[in-house]
Amino acid sequence: MKKTVSLISKNFKKIHPESLKEYLKAGGYDGLKNALPLTSLEVITAVKKSGIKGRGGAAYPTGLKWEQAAAIPGPRKIVICNADEGEPGTFKDRYLLEYDPFKIIEGMTIAAYAVGANEGYIYIREEYKKLQNRMRKIIDIAIQNGFLGNNILGTNFKFNIKVFSGAGAYVCGENSTLIESMEGKSGRPRIKPPYIKERGLFNLPTLVNNVETFSIIPVIFTIGPEEYAKYGTPNSRGTKLISIAGNIKKPGTYEIPFGITLNEIVFDIGGGIRNNKKLKFLQIGGASGSIVPASMTHIRYCYEDFKEHNITMGSGAILVADETIKVVDFLKSVQDFFLHESCGKCTPCREGNRQLSKIFNRFVKGNASIEDFKTIERFGKVMKYCSFCGLGQSATTALLSAIKHFPDEFYTHIDKVHKTI
């Protein structure tokens, strides 16, 4: 099997990202041209046939999501592209925004056509300010050339996109929180129902998909859903953009077919570990993802294998840590992140993260007690099951998986206490 592919990433560093001419020459907008003559139902059926699942982390089948969005009645509907990429270790959406922005808006346009929406927003994190400007620029170009606006490609389909800037809050990556912030509020998640698909932005029916999900759509309508679905495994169709970083020789964003092993990703694609060190563990899917020890890298990168081993794919990040990294030090950086990003709405997450951080300081300093060890596990579980939103629920994924795979590393820090007392 070929280890990397170039479907979504075909244009990366190959064309000038702000040139519509080059985008068209590379086959850009063929997807939209093929989709517009179809009925909404036919478009949705094709997306279903491709088998793709949302790439934002929740892995909800995209075709199904669109079908539900299309079925909701209403004269005014919204399509939002979630470009609030904030999971530490993740930068694959940045590559799309940076190197192939037209593809994102082409995908959004097809989505809008399928679900019957005329208004679109792309919510880009504040940290990508320069890319916000790039996006504004290419939206203008698309309007001038009839790819956005009132009569798209000479049809009477109308669709506009506005760029919205985030303001530095990880929690806004959660869809309902993102919408709260677009309504001029602080970013705290909403209680569901009502679901966003029924009452989202300004209480209007809203479809939210991730940048990568939208970028796959033009590919599906160019090469056909069957062809795209040939990549991957039975339950994980197609290709995936992953971000590899950390103690690795060739960090970067790569497109892989689902189903290659973590080993292949780290050693064949990423070039192996830097400075002749040994691999110790990976963190899969960002700060909210599990710790996977080196002994488990035979696992394939796909939903099936991940589910079997209780790993979530999350944002597509693969963070590589070598043998010199201490697990508790690493977990402290995870903990500090969540402490900083917790929105404070619910108690388990707000207080849990605070207490865990305090305890972690003791572990890092080497003066933790056995009670501390029991407490972190207990708190970790309470947070996992009782937090209001995904942030709190997944804040201790790394911790709990680390306790499972590296219990000794915790004990050594506890041992020190006994020796010094």
Candidate ranges 140-148, 208-216, 222-230, 337-345; the one touching other proteins (CB under 8 A)? 337-345
Does residue number 289 form part of the binding site for ligand FES (CB under 6 A)? no
CA 416 to chain centre: 39
Residue 202 CB, shortest distance to ligand SF4, in Å, is 22
Q: Which of 28, 88, 173, 259 binds ligand FES (CB under 6 A)?
A: 88
Would you count residue 342 as binding ligand SF4 (CB under 6 A)?
A: yes
- In sequence order, the β-bridge partners of residue 321 are 281
Is the CB of 88 or the CB of 120 nearer to ligand FES?
Answer: 88
Q: Which is nearer to other proteins, 206 or 222 (CB)?
A: 206
Query: Residue 269 interacts with other proteins (CB under 8 A)?
Result: no
Q: Closer CB to ligand FES, residue 88 or residue 218?
A: 88
- The nearer residue to ligand FES, 336 or 409, going by C-beta atoms, is 336
Taking CB under 8 A as the rule, which mask of x and - marks residues 282-301 in contact with other proteins? -x---x--------------
345 binds, among ligand FES, ligand SF4, other proteins, none (CB under 5 to 8 A by kind): ligand SF4
How far is it, in rounded angstroms, from Cα 393 to Cα 385? 6
CB of 350 to ligand SF4, least distance (A): 5
- The verdict on 167 binding other proteins (CB under 8 A) reads yes
In the complex with ligand FES, the residue whose CB is nearer, 47 or 97, is 97
Between CA 64 and CA 53 the distance in angstroms is: 9
Binding string to other proteins for residues 170 to 189, with x set by CB under 8 A, is what? Answer: x----------xxxxxxx--
Binding of residue 148 to ligand SF4 (CB under 6 A): no
Among 343, 356, 376, 399, binds ligand SF4 (CB under 6 A): 343
Nearer Cβ to ligand FES (51/89): 89
- Site membership for ligand FES, residue 316 (CB under 6 A): no
Distances (CA, A) of 418 to 315, 332, 362, 368, 412: 40, 22, 14, 9, 10
| 388 counts as binding ligand SF4 under rule CB under 6 A | yes
> Which residue number places its CB atom closest to ligand FES?
88
Which residues form the interface with other proteins (CB under 8 A)?
85-91, 93-94, 125-130, 164-170, 181-187, 202, 243, 245-247, 251-253, 283, 287, 317, 319-322, 325, 329-330, 333-334, 336-337, 340-341, 343
Q: Which residues bind ligand SF4 (CB under 6 A)?
A: 171, 189, 342-346, 349-350, 387-389, 391-392
